[in-house]
Amino acid sequence: MATFTTSVVIARPIEEVFAFLARPENETNWQKDLIESRQTSDGPMGVGATGEDVRKSMGRRMVTSWTCTGFEPGVCFEFKVTKPMPFLAAYRFEAVPEGTRVEMTTEPSGFTRLLWPIIVRAGRKQYAANFAALKEVLEAQT
């Protein structure tokens, strides 16, 4: 099953971009369909931390639960979505001359594999818009 990948180059230092994306509460600033995002576990963000996102998708409220599975500042932030549709996702960070390249890769797990082609078709446009918004938000910061 193919992964879905999208990326953007942001004219900000890698440390700032990573720190912004590693804070779930910042996600509502750049993901249009996201109503709320929060860490549900105590302590700092890192491997084992859990969280919850609330989205409005296709006119319905959807709650997504996730667990951080990889966390290396300035390098990667990985997580596993456990409900309602399981998948794996990772943000990877790379310093480039223009600033920071952020790449997000997702791949299905469990029964989500059956719906993956439909999800990818719908997700391409949404994530292109989300990453454009992420770039705008971060580059507007001084």
Asked if 52 and 67 touch (Cβ cutoff 8 Å), the reply is no
CA 14 to chain centre: 16
CA distance 51 to 67: 6
CA distance 140 to 41: 30
Asked if 12 and 21 touch (Cβ cutoff 8 Å), the reply is no
> CATH number for the domain including 9?
3.30.530.20
Mean pLDDT of 76-91: 88
CA distance 7 to 29: 18
Summarised one tens digit per residue, pLDDT across range 92-116 is 999 999 999 999 988 766 666 666 6
The number of folded domains in the chain is: 1
| Domain extent at residue 13 | 4-140
Summarised one tens digit per residue, pLDDT across range 20-73 is 999 999 999 999 889 999 999 999 999 999 999 998 877 789 899 999 999 999
pLDDT at 93: 97
Mean pLDDT of 111-137: 77
CA distance 77 to 52: 16
User: Which H or E element spans position 10?
Assistant: strand 4-10
pLDDT at 120: 64
